[in-house]
Amino acid sequence: MKFYAGIDLHANNNVLAVLNDSGQLVCQRRLSNVVAVVIGELERFQSALVGVVVESTFNWYWLVDGLQAAGYHAHLANTTAIQPYQGIKYTNDLTDARWLAEMLRQKILPEGGLPVSGRGEFTGTAAGWTQAGAVGATAHQPDRVSANAFGAGPRTPAQPQQGA
């Protein structure tokens, strides 16, 4: 059995939804924004997890880097291209996370570009972020990056602090 995860990421928490290959919800939780907590929830699915979609308009890099460092295939949702689910009257964080996982399952997920190198070149993978020498890639540092999660152009990491 395969699993698909969606994470609706906010400034102080996130909502995780995991679907099986039939589209049934097998896990849904609101979690704190701590990489170890998110990874702890995903561990039981890791061997069969196809991918983890993260939706956030800013401040997503710490989670994507942490997921990839733990061996997960992370996807960054293109928030401006996502079509709303037509069969639901009201949406909230729980339904949003589930819809992210469902789009991945159906292979209709519009993806945003993932990180760039320190030279401002688009690399297309989150691994490129840490390989580019960005400081504190898994730390929660909102002022470290000028993020453009929409995939609309190059992003560059902020200059490392002295002594970092």
Is residue 137 within 8 A of residue 64, CB to CB? The reply is no
pLDDT value of residue 72: 97
* CATH code at position 132: 3.30.420.430
10, two tokens: 């906010």
| Span 145-155, pLDDT tens digits | 333 333 333 33
Query: Could you give the number of structural domains in the chain?
Result: 1
Q: Answer yes or no: is pLDDT of 114 > 70.
A: no
Least Cα distance to 77 among 49, 101, 93 occurs for 101
| Span 44-67, pLDDT tens digits | 999 999 999 999 988 899 999 999
0.75 exceeded by the pTM? no
Domain carrying residue 76: 1-164
CA distance 48 to 87: 28
Q: What residues have CB less than 8 Å from 122, skipping those under 6 apart?
A: 113, 116, 154
